[in-house]
Structure 1
Amino acid sequence: MRISIPEAAPLERHISVTIPAREVESEVSQRLRSKARSARFPGFRPGKAPIALIERHYGSDALMEAFDHLINAHYSQAVREESLRPVGQPEVQVEKGGRGEDLVFTAVIEVYPEFEPQVPDATVIRKSVEVTDADVDATLDIMRQQRRFYVPVERAAQSEDRVIVDFQGTMDGTPVPGGDVTDYSVVLGSGRLLPDIEQGLSGMSVGEEKQVSVRFPDGYHTPELAGKAAQFHLQVKEVAAPQWPEVDAAFARALGIEDGEVAVLRQEVRENLEREAQRIIRGQVKTQILELIAESHHPDLPKQMVQRELERLRKDADVATNGGDLDALARRRVVLGLVMSEIARRENFWASPAEVTQVIQDMAVQYEEPEQFVSWYRSKPEQMEEAEAMVLEGKVVAWFLERVKVTDEPVSFNQLIGRAPAAAVSADS
């Protein structure tokens, strides 16, 4: 056996092996004897056909089978003896071989790079949050707004009101296609109508009629109307103001609190916000760690791994349309994968069934039927592998976090999620 490393490809290993002719012949003979025991030929009982007849019919098959077995066995032996870590399957080239000849083959493989994981001299910012009563109130206000209802009012329409309107559009006296609508319901400010029509409706009262000039945008979805001017006749039939439910027992029961206890609802909202805050903080820390890993490690990259990652990225429509450098992104992902795998290997990290289950359950919380999600997730092997990878990734991130400088930065919940403080919604608004 001889192993060579091409100068231009430091991660390639060319394993050249010569298998003596006697070993080849022994393997072929063994396979021919095995075939002879079950072979059936006219005039001969099973297993009694002459070996010459067996060779004539099965000699080529037996030789190919012997080659496959011997190549796999000697290749595996070479990998074990040399402590090689192949990235993928070998490319095998048979240089010489046949009955009565030595079998000579070369297996070309890529191996994982040898490198020492580095802990960069850097600082990770870890934000900390205390969820306040005001955060709970703001979240309840959002939940109230999501359950708003409308009450007819006797005043002019304004932003956020729901208006029921009839409208007819004409262009040079000709009806606009699709421009004659009855009892159309729209919330002012929602952007569902052309801006000129929404502006025209603002300030109108029930029973009022108005003629407004409208210009269709240049990129309007109906090409024959794009950039054209038209006239719309509006007739308001109802104006309704938004109302929000009070935070009371009925509201709590509507949100799944069986006994209607508002205090229980508030506690549940607080716990959800705290979980969300921790999820965001972990994600921000992980992003910083991954960036430090990518910047501080520059191992040789196996071509097969880069190519596989490129193929995955090209299948991902979201990544492909970002206009970024796919090759650079693929190489970055391979670096991260190599570093994390190396640390997991050195530290003997592994994903226990309980840890994998916890990851899946954490994902399931956001679904209405968590148990159904868990069952579906477990039914797909590739998803289970992804969950295991997430466990290992978390352990490696924690390993780095113990070894870099960490600065805790207190922030408000709104700062953490990038949301401006919302104005409170009054119960009678």
Structure 2
Amino acid sequence: MQVSVETTSQIERRVTVQVPADEVDQAVTARLKDAARNVRLNGFRQGKVPMAVVRQRYGHDVRNEVVGELMRERYVQAITQESLNPAGYPQIEPTVNESGKDLEFVATLEVYPEVELKSIDGAEVERPAVEVTDADVEQMIDTLRKQNASWEAVERAAEDGDQVTIDFQGFLGDEPFEGGQAENHDLVLGSESFIPGFEEQLAGVSAGDETEIKVTFPEDYQAENLAGKEATFKVKVHRVSAQQLPEIDADFIKQFGVEDGDVEKFRAEVKKNMTREVGQAVDNRVKQQVLEALKNANEIPVPQALVQQETDALKRQAAQQFGLGEDFDVSQLPNELFADQAKSRVQVGLLLAEVIKVNELDASDDEIKVKVEELAQQYQEPQQVIDYYLGNEQLKGQVKSSILEEKAVDTLLEQAHVKDVEMSYEQALQAAQQQAQDSDEADEEDGESEEAKA
């Protein structure tokens, strides 16, 4: 077998393989002899059909079958011989495929890029310094009460925070527009769930009132036929309801896993959960800054095969998130919605893998167990979660990958200039959320920039 490799780009290789003719012909003949034992043709007994007849009848199909198998087999041997590290499946095409001639085929494939890591030395990283205060805990308890609140009809005008039950229909001029109508719709005033100006104009209405509301749709409204247009809504009010917050008693507290209903234990549990949540937010904010610095310092080509794999994974994730069902064909979702994020993820994954390799990072079984125990604390039956994870090699592998990623980020963080910034609990959560949003938008801008270059 002769092999030659042509480098057509940083990550693309064109591998030409030649297989001696006699090797191919011998394999075809052996396959035909096997087939001849079971061939049934009129005028011949089974197994007695002349080889010339068998070859004439089945030779073409058998050769194609044998050649397909040989190409797959020799491709694996060729990339092993040439120490190629393919990213995804190759495109294999025979260029010479005739009896009596050496078989020649070409495999075009992408390989993993060679990464020479550049330091992120000097990168600026802001690390929120956050303390969960008693006031934060009380605010969270108020939020939990509101989430478990009931609504009670009242005989008064609606105020901010009240819930109004309404029928409404929207008009552009004198014509009603599609999607602008609902009956018995519950709307909390001040929730900002409707277009700007709508809820404010319902302040002061009472049950039985009928009124008209004029609003202007935002210029960037998702329905283009309504964007920037002035509309009138005819509204009928059925009911005004006030929010009734539950008392912080034993029954309320037991809903959150504190079985004895003790108030101080409940507050301690809330604070512990908030501390864990904000700790994760801080870690994620620092991590995103480190990874962004790593990407900026290391521009590498990304194999399209890996991008497509990640795109498909994001599609499945989106389908699950929006409840589209297990039978939903994710190929219906356009690649361009996910491609930029997928490319960014692949780039980061390749770079982190190199950080782990260069620094010889690893995770022991004890570290995996500790991490699983930390994760399990978020559930009501931690031991069941621990046993489930530690008894599943795939899940243990995922936890190990998470630990290695954390270690890689910590290693990179030592190269950066870290500045601690005082933040409140709410500010830290909002900052982490905003950074994730900014990162997604940056990926989209990078994708548009690459398209412009193309």
TM-score (norm 2): 0.66
1:66-111 deviation line (CA, Å, top 9, x unaligned) = 2123222322222111111122333333232322222222222222
1:316-366 deviation line (CA, Å, top 9, x unaligned) = 9799579xxx66x665444223223444556476898x9699789959958
8 A Cα contact 2:352 2:408, kept in partner: no
Query: Aligned pair 1:299/2:304, yes or no?
Result: no
1:137-178 deviation line (CA, Å, top 9, x unaligned) = 111111122233456777765333456899999xxxx9x99x
Change in Cα spacing, 1:203 to 1:404, as seen in structure 2 (3 Å) is: closer
When the two structures are aligned, how many residues end up with a matched partner? 395
Change in Cα spacing, 1:58 to 1:265, as seen in structure 2 (3 Å) is: same
**Structure 2 counterparts to residues 205-224 of structure 1, below 5 A:** 214-215=213-214, 217=216
Whole-angstrom distance in 2 between the partners of 1:151 and 1:316: 45
Secondary structure, in 3 states, of the residue corresponding to 2:128?
Answer: strand
**Structure 2 counterparts to residues 204-353 of structure 1, below 5 A:** 214-215=213-214, 217=216, 227=230, 241-305=242-306, 331-344=343-356, 347=360
8 A Cα contact 1:344 1:350, kept in partner: no
Q: CA deviation at 1:276?
A: 1.0
Whole-angstrom distance in 2 between the partners of 1:291 and 1:144: 39
Q: CA deviation at 1:29?
A: 1.7
8 A Cα contact 1:166 1:182, kept in partner: yes
8 A Cα contact 2:17 2:106, kept in partner: yes
Query: Aligned pair 1:19/2:19, yes or no?
Result: yes
Change in Cα spacing, 1:86 to 1:263, as seen in structure 2 (3 Å) is: same
1:261-308 deviation line (CA, Å, top 9, x unaligned) = 223322321222122112212211221121022111123343544566
- Give 2:348's aligned amino acid: L
Q: Which residue of structure 2 aligns with residue 137 of structure 1? A: 138
**Structure 2 counterparts to residues 68-217 of structure 1, below 5 A:** 68-123=68-123, 124-149=125-150, 158-161=159-162, 187-190=188-191, 202=203, 214-215=213-214, 217=216
Gapped runs of 5+ residues in structure 1?
Answer: 376-383, 420-429
Whole-angstrom distance in 1 between the partners of 2:168 and 2:342: 54
Change in Cα spacing, 1:356 to 1:5, as seen in structure 2 (3 Å) is: farther
Q: Which residue of structure 1 aligns with residue 55 of structure 2? A: 55
Q: CA deviation at 1:400?
A: 3.5
Whole-angstrom distance in 2 between the partners of 1:230 and 1:102: 79
Q: CA deviation at 1:241?
A: 4.6
* Higher Cα Rg, which structure: 1
Whole-angstrom distance in 1 between the partners of 2:67 and 2:6: 25
Secondary structure, in 3 states, of the residue corresponding to 1:89?
Answer: coil
TM-score (norm 1): 0.69
Query: Aligned pair 1:396/2:405, yes or no?
Result: yes
Change in Cα spacing, 1:96 to 1:361, as seen in structure 2 (3 Å) is: farther
1:367-399 deviation line (CA, Å, top 9, x unaligned) = 99xx99x99xxxxxxxx79x9668535513422
- Give 2:24's aligned amino acid: V
Q: Which residue of structure 1 aligns with residue 425 of structure 2? A: 413
* Percent identity (aligned): 32
Change in Cα spacing, 1:343 to 1:418, as seen in structure 2 (3 Å) is: closer
Q: CA deviation at 1:34?
A: 1.6
189-198 or 267-276, which deviates more: 189-198
Gapped runs of 5+ residues in structure 2?
Answer: 316-330, 389-393, 432-454
Q: CA deviation at 1:45?
A: 4.2
8 A Cα contact 1:12 1:108, kept in partner: yes
Change in Cα spacing, 1:2 to 1:186, as seen in structure 2 (3 Å) is: closer
Whole-angstrom distance in 1 between the partners of 2:150 and 2:351: 54
Whole-angstrom distance in 1 between the partners of 2:92 and 2:17: 11
8 A Cα contact 1:216 1:227, kept in partner: yes
- Give 2:87's aligned amino acid: V
Change in Cα spacing, 1:360 to 1:29, as seen in structure 2 (3 Å) is: farther
Secondary structure, in 3 states, of the residue corresponding to 2:94?
Answer: strand
RMSD value, Cα: 5.3
Secondary structure, in 3 states, of the residue corresponding to 1:283?
Answer: helix
Change in Cα spacing, 1:245 to 1:332, as seen in structure 2 (3 Å) is: closer
- Give 1:296's aligned amino acid: A
